[in-house]
Structure 1
Amino acid sequence: MDVNGNRRVFQRLRPSNDNKQQKVCFHWRAGQCNRYPCPYLHRELPPPPQSQSQPSISNGTGASKRPHGFADDQHLTRRNSKFSNSSSWGRVQGGGVGRFLHSWCTGGCFSSLTQLEGHQKVVSGIALPSGSDKLYTGSKDETVRVWDCQSGQCTGVINLGAEVDCMLSEGPWVFVGLPNVVKAWNVQTASDLSLSGPVGHVYALVVGNDLLFAGTQDGTILAWKFNAATNCFEPAASLKGHTLAVVTLVVGANRLYSGSMDHSIRVWSLETLQCLQTMTEHTSVVMSVLCWDQFLLSCSLDKTIKVWVATESGNLEVTYTHNEENGLLTLCGMHDSEAKPVLLCSCNDNSVHVYDLPSFSERGKIFAKQEVRSIQIGPGGLFFTGDGTGQVRVWQLLAQPTAAT
């Protein structure tokens, strides 16, 4: 879909129809199958929960403008909310099982439209600036590639001379985190700015309360404010508290949430820029944080996703913990065609799990050649994944799951 939802952006690559056998794969049962695709069944998954069990996302638009969140300005309300019942988290509703074939994805809830080839190393950032028909992807191969959304062709390669650590699009701006600097491009005015101040790698970027925040290798969070008169970003603040690198940032409820290699999450006031709370429940690196409705979700290399909700005192505490078999890398939220929340969760076993919320019932999985480090939501049910080989894939979330044949 294009940004208007009326035309195809990327041509659909139809999946193979060779997988028609319904026998269960003997090698998969033994944990040894390495065939792509395999002609036999590999797993059974529960169906999605019933629609009445899903809470709504009250962001007023039905879609998020943030690259890694459902809502950018929703309040994390107190526990008396009707959606804060911890017993609903992780509860699979409905009965029966569905069988799915082993391929690049399982579950039938999304389809692969195309793949974008060109990067030589891990894709560390994906940006889709508003008002543009271009997709920007950044990589550890020291380049940003620009893709035409109508043809899917690469229209430009920007050589930066340094590894891209992260990317962010906000309005017409594309921000790129590089070692010791943040690059800012305005795709409408062709402005090209360099924001100095970071020491070491810049692992995370987010915008909130008219400030651009950057999480850096030394544990500092730097903030800049745009000055329209001078057409530049001016240093505004330096937030200190983390003892190791800040690798993830998200804004919600007039708060900035930061996750770090020091295993902690810090909550900052966007008004005073003071730290309000430090959460230490994770036992390894906090890789990604995400705001959904009144909840904060976090994932870690400790193999858990934690769901946080505000108590009567205003502090956040864990209301549900979802366990995985592998370490978790990034969370991304989107809505299906019925405005139900869907969570995409990248794991370090080269897979992306797709879950319904709040039940955490699995819709399906995506399999990549290497770890998926970047996920970006697009218009009309599109989303993009970038993996360790440099491959970017374009996916379409389907209206209804399709049965395996």
Structure 2
Amino acid sequence: MHMSTQWTLICLSLILTVRSADLHGAAQSTVPLCTTSPEDNLRMLAGARFKIALFADLHFGEDAWTEWGPQQDLNSVRVMSTVLDKEQPDFVIYLGDVITANNIMIKNASFYWDQAVSPTRARGIPWSSVFGNHDDAPFEWPMEWFSVTGIPQIDCPASTATYSGDKECSFRGTTRLELMKGEIQQNTLSYSKQGPQNLWPSVSNYVLKLSSPNDSQKAMVYMYFFDSGGGSYPEVISSAQVKWFQQKSEELNPDSSVPEVIFWHIPSKAYKKVAPKFSIHWKCVGSIFLERVAAQKAEMGIMKVLEERPSVKAVFVGHNHGLDWCCPYKNMWLCFARHTGYGGYGNWPRGARILEINQQPFSLKTWIRMEDGEHRSTTLLHPSRCGHHRKPPQP
């Protein structure tokens, strides 16, 4: 059987059989048409816009030895399910801090990673992921374990598709490589990649092509994914990653004629330059401006390269739970996602950023879908009035 025919049958089978599941049970769900191909190439549907949901800072696996922790994971599944059912996206991006490894005491943290991607997988929607600073952070021993109450009785999870089921707990942690390998091997809908080995310890560095509905070889958009560090190594996009992007973008898009959109977890220092000051939001668009930007530890040149490349239209990050704005910067936009998970700090209402790509004429539109279904902060990123015609806010 021809590979493309075989993949089509797999997609059709997923569409016919998929059921949307949460951690309590399952319910029937409608899913979008399958837009994937075996060449790791996403295809736009003729006459349709390509919609992406960004799930940031889910933080599955926090305080698993308490009643609070597992309940937060259930709440996070509910938020994702609401967004997926309201928006019916064609693709999902897990934008880092999928899990809180510094709270996870089992041998294989893929157990929690598997829970986090379950609402997307259950609806037959393809996805990809990048790593955040908590995804492979070392275990932090709670001091109360060593008080009078002692170390609690810990129940290790039962066997799942990505967890061996060994009842012995472990505080060793699960590396980025192990997490990525588990996701890729156990999920046919995952478009995540490990990236070039010479960029190690940085792992989730890769590019996906969104191609024309009429020609799979014709790129409409290139989506670049970066590992911005944290956890097992410093919070930085290295000079090696910058060089990789320069080489890859010149190879794929030498004349910068195809738009490029960038995704990573920890904001660059450029985000601090455009951050709204003293509640004056200037020309930024968002609904939550309640923190200072927590940027990467150092700037190794990635922003300079992006600024000089006219095809780069927007950068999307997570990390700051109290920010969800988009601000114009140079000839691009810098955007935060929305804190999606109930794990992690902050009690602000949860939601997800949606990105919509239109083919002809090309445009980028984004908004926030909240956990209660509310739609807010819609803005057109490209074509935009910022570009060459507006100056970014001054620091």
TM-score (norm 1): 0.29
TM-score (norm 2): 0.30
More strand by share: 1
